[in-house]
């Protein structure tokens, strides 16, 4: 009698494990690996320093510092269901830190119509107090709207007088009326959609970042016009917002 | 007979154990750093090496060593000779004089909030990769304490008190260089400054004057001082990025700074951004102490920048010499900067000899 009871319980246990419900499938990890290039030429930290890259406008430039934040990684299913991870990651090419990011939350395998994330921080997230971003000195002063840089890109270019000059391509939330009561003409964070993918296992997305795009389309960027003190310049911020949209693309997917 | 034998052996075993336990069970008393509210609310925690936890006995030993001239070759100088509490643990000369009367080439760096140097690159040029390793260098530097560690260890080992102090701190009376520098580092990590007028303003405990607020505005405005990209902001109360920059002091370099450490010519002329805390006590300024006053520093950033191949692109209007502040703006900026000074730190009795 006792043996029969044990057999019965074990059978129930195994039958439940054999369920075909995909929601019961083991969840998998997702990793985002950021790879940077200049129109196809790989850029690593050791490429920083010398003036050696040419923008679409013909300006020769160098890199001194390049770091940006991505956030709110979102997996969307065909039925519109979304898994949004309320996370962020500060990618720093200058020191090659956080070049790969694996959110703690694992997701269910399956067909996703879109995998996306936010460049920068949406306004809600930008109003938070992030101790690690503060420690990284990534803040935007309150009179410029507060919150954080979306991107800090510092370098030098050869100006129209053939002199080396610094540029600070700092993307933030566009702001007008810097001071006690700043106003915001439009949002300048944006969504980067890596496209549809079927996830079957632990997966690594290579995210290609073509830095040359920030100077190329749709706005041909003239560093002699826009080089420094761009944070309080909402016109420049909106141009950056428009140019950044094509800088990110999906590379290899490994799973 | 057998029973009696077991009893005797057992008794001997327990007596033996109790003797050993008296030694091996001793543990120094943990003394975690007290994290100031302004830090815990804004920045990530301090860096404490897992192999050198803070203890009451370790800090006490480190403090004694820090102020003890026994570390120098001729018993005339201690760490505190160039890192004096009343000067926020620096000194008041452009560069520091060593035991043989020879001056070095760098300004003594103030010491505070060292556990929040997240990359753990210490000294002006970042050559010291931990606080413990930094503490090794001045002892054997020929123009500083000009000693050698073998002699230091022998002196400490033969001292009437130090072996017992090391036992209390590290559970051994065998003194080593590693334990000596660990103790000094423990003391140095307790040097926390977070009670300036601006800290109290940030915590809602006091108000700034209109001039100090104007100065903060200049500090933060990208089209004015733009100091915040390297020197922190109200959300980063360290008031430094602890990173390395060429801030335009020279057109050519006699001291390569970080470049001499990395061997990368792109790093030539780069030095670590010092914290702007406690400027009231730390004159003269810059890595070589070239500026005697804060006014000279502000004038330099306003009109005195020198271009060079590695000048940081964050430096602006270089061809005009700098950010071109008016006399009033300079005065306001200075007033704000002085609000970052913390008299309670330099007067803290825990940090005095």
| Res. A254: pLDDT tops 60 | yes
The mean of the pLDDT values for chain A is 92
Return the structure tokens found at A78: 């065909």
Name the average pLDDT for chain B: 93
Q: What is the CB neighbour count within 10 angstroms for residue A211?
A: 22
Instruction: For chain B, count helices (H), then strands (E).
Output: 14, 2
pLDDT, one tens digit per residue, over B134-153 is: 999 999 999 999 999 999 99
pLDDT digits (tens, 9 = 90+) for A112-155: 999 999 999 999 999 999 999 999 999 999 999 999 999 999 99
Contact B52, B182 (CB under 8 A): yes
Round to whole Å and give the CA distance between B165 and B152: 15
3-state secondary structure of B90: strand
Check pLDDT > 70 for residue A66.
Answer: yes
DSSP reduced 3-state for B136: helix
Which of A14-18, A83-87, A232-236 has the least mean pLDDT? A14-18
| Block residue for tokens 């530097």 | B141
In order of B36, B115, B203, the CA distances from A131 in angstroms are 14, 16, 16
Contact list in A for residue B121 (CB cut-off 8 A) is none
Which residue of B lies nearest to A165 if distances are taken between CA atoms? B313
What does the domain layout of chain B look like in residue ranges? 37-192, 197-346
Give B226's contacts in chain A (Cβ within 8 Å). 229
Question: Using the beta-carbon criterion (under 8 Å), do A134 and B235 form an inter-chain contact?
Answer: yes
Q: End-to-end distance of chain B based on CA atoms, in angstroms?
A: 64
Q: How many CB atoms lie within 10 A of CB B281?
A: 20
Q: Average pLDDT in the B289-316 region?
A: 97
CATH value of B197-346 in 3.40.50.10860, 1.10.760.10, 3.40.50.2300, 1.20.120.10: 1.10.760.10
Provide the whole-model pTM.
Answer: 0.90
Pairing relationship of beta strands A41-42 and A30-38 according to DSSP bridges: antiparallel
Q: Nearest residue of A to residue B117 by CA position?
A: A135
Our measurement of the distance from residue A242's CA atom to the centroid of its chain's CA atoms, rounded to an integer in Å, reads 15
Centre a 10 Å sphere on the Cβ of residue B97 and count the other Cβ atoms it contains: 16
pLDDT at res. A25: 72
Hey, are the CB atoms on A166 and B315 less than 8 Å from each other? yes
* pLDDT at residue B265, rounded to an integer: 95
Calpha distance A251→B74 (Å, rounded): 65
What is the per-residue pLDDT for A12?
44
CA distance readout (Å), B42 to A89, A131, B179, B230: 18, 5, 33, 17
Mean pLDDT value across residues B158-171: 98
Tell me whether residues A137 and B313 touch, CB distance under 8 A: no
pLDDT score recorded for residue A20: 47
Interchain contact A182–B (C-beta under 8 A)? no
Supply B66's token pair. 């820090």
Closest CA relative to residue B232, chosen from A135, A68, A232, A95: A135
Chain A segment 141-180 residues within 8 A of B by beta carbon are: 141-144, 154-156, 163-168, 178
pLDDT at res. A144? 95
Give me the residues of A, 53-82, that contact B with CB < 8 A.
64-65
pLDDT at A16: 45
Facing A141 at nearest CB: one of B44, B228, B314: B228
Inter-residue contact B127 to B57 (CB < 8 Å): no
Q: Which of A94, A135, A156, A172 to mutate to test the interface with B (most CBs of B within 10 A)?
A: A135
- Relative to beta strand B244-245, strand A248-254 is unpaired
Q: Which of chain B's residues have a Cβ under 8 Å away from the Cβ of A230?
A: 222
Asked if the domains B37-192 and B197-346 are classified in one and the same CATH topology, the answer is yes
Residue located via tokens 């001729």? B74
Spatial neighbors of A120 by CB under 8 A, at least 6 apart, are: A68, A69, A70, A71, A126, A150, A151, A171, A173, A188, A189, A190
Q: What is the arithmetic mean of pLDDT over B228-248? A: 97
DSSP state of B84: B
B316 has pLDDT over 80: yes
Other C-beta atoms lying within 10 Å of the C-beta of residue B245: 23
Cβ pair B315:A132 closer than 8 A: no
Chain B residues with CB under 8 Å of A154 CB are 312-314
- Which residue, among A28, A46, A230, A55, has the nearest Cα to A149 in the 3D structure? A230
Q: Is pLDDT above 60 for B14?
A: no
Residue A183 is classified by DSSP as: B
The C-alpha of A208 sits at a distance from chain B's nearest C-alpha, in angstroms, of 26
Write the ipTM: 0.90
Least Cα separation, residue A56 to chain B (angstroms):
21
Alpha-carbon B324 to chain mean position? 32
B243-266: pLDDT as tens digits:
999 999 999 999 999 999 999 999
CA distance A15 to chain B (A): 48
- Average pLDDT over every residue of B322-349: 97
CA-based nearest distance B236→chain A, Å:
5
pLDDT at residue A23, as a whole number: 56
Q: Structure tokens of A162?
A: 């053939």
Helix axis angle for B149-158 and B131-140, nearest 10°, is 100
Q: Using CB atoms, which residue from B217, B221, B313 is nearest to A156? A: B313
Best of B213, B248, B313, B317 to disrupt the A interface (most A CBs within 10 Å) is: B313
Give the C-alpha separation, B188 to B154, whole Å.
24
| Structural tokens at position B67 | 């102020």
**pLDDT above 50 (res B16):** no
* pLDDT tens digits for range A1-29: 445 444 444 444 444 444 445 556 799 99
| CATH class for the region spanning B37-192 | mainly alpha
Q: Is the pLDDT of residue B294 over 50?
A: yes
Mean pLDDT of B282-291: 98
- Is the model more confident about A16 or about A177? A177
Question: What confidence tier does B337 reach under pLDDT thresholds 50, 70, 90?
Answer: very high
Q: Which two tokens stand for residue B319?
A: 């061809």
Average pLDDT over residues B22-50: 92
């Amino acid at each position: 009698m006792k043996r029969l009871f044990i057999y019965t319980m074990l059978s129930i246990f195994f039958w439940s494990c054999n369920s075909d419900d995909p929601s019961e499938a083991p969840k998998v990890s997702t990793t985002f690996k950021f790879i940077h290039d200049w129109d196809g030429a790989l850029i690593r930290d050791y490429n920083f320093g010398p003036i050696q890259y040419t923008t679409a406008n013909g300006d020769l430039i160098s890199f001194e510092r390049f770091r940006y934040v991505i956030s709110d990684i979102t997996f969307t299913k065909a039925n519109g269901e979304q898994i949004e991870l309320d996370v962020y990651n500060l990618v720093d090419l200058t020191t090659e830190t956080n070049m790969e990011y694996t959110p703690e939350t694992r997701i269910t395998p399956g067909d996703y119509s879109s995998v996306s994330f936010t460049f920068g921080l949406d306004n809600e997230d930008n109003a938070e107090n992030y101790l690690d971003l503060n420690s990284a000195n990534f803040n935007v002063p309150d009179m410029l709207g507060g919150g954080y840089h979306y991107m800090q890109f510092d370098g030098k270019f050869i100006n129209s007088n053939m002199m080396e000059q610094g540029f600070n391509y700092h993307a933030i939330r566009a702001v007008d009326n810097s001071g006690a009561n700043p106003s915001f003409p439009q949002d300048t964070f944006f969504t980067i959609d890596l496209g549809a993918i079927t996830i079957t296992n632990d997966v690594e997305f290579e995210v290609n970042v073509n830095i040359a795009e920030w100077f190329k389309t749709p706005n041909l960027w003239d560093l002699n016009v826009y080089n420094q003190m761009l944070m309080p310049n909402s016109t420049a911020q909106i141009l950056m917002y428009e140019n950044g949209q094509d800088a990110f693309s999906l590379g290899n997917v490994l799973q | 007979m057998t029973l009696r034998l077991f009893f005797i052996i057992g008794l001997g075993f327990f007596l033996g154990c109790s003797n050993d336990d008296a030694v091996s069970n001793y543990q120094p008393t943990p003394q975690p750093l007290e994290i100031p509210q302004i830090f815990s609310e804004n920045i990530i925690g301090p860096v404490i090496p897992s192999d050198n936890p803070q203890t009451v006995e370790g800090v006490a030993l480190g403090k004694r060593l820090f102020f003890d001239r026994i570390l120098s070759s001729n018993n005339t100088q201690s760490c505190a000779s160039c890192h004096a509490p009343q000067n926020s643990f620096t000194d008041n000369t452009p560069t520091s004089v060593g035991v043989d009367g020879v001056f070095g080439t760098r300004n003594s760096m103030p010491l505070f909030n060292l556990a929040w140097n997240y990359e753990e690159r210490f000294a002006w040029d970042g050559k010291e990769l931990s606080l413990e390793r930094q503490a090794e260098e001045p002892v054997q530097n020929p123009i500083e304490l000009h000693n050698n560690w073998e002699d230091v260890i022998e002196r400490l080992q033969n001292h009437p008190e130090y072996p017992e102090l090391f036992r209390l701190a590290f559970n051994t009376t065998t003194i080593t260089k590693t334990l000596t520098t660990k103790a000094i580092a423990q003391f140095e990590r307790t040097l926390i400054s977070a009670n300036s007028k601006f800290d109290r303003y940030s915590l809602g405990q006091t108000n700034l004057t209109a001039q100090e607020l104007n100065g903060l505005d200049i500090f933060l405005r990208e089209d004015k001082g733009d100091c915040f990209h390297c020197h922190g902001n109200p959300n980063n109360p360290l008031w430094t990025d602890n990173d390395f920059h060429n801030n335009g002091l020279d057109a050519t370099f006699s001291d390569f700074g970080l470049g001499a450490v990395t061997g990368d010519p792109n790093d030539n002329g780069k030095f670590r951004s010092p914290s702007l805390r406690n400027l009231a006590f730390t004159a003269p300024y810059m890595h070589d102490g070239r500026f005697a006053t804060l006014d000279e520093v502000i004038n330099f950033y306003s009109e005195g920048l020198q271009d060079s191949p590695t000048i940081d692109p964050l430096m602006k209007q270089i061809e005009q010499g700098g950010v071109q502040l008016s006399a009033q703006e300079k005065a306001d900026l200075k007033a704000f900067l002085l609000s970052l000074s913390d008299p309670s730190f330099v007067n803290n009795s825990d940090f005095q000899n």
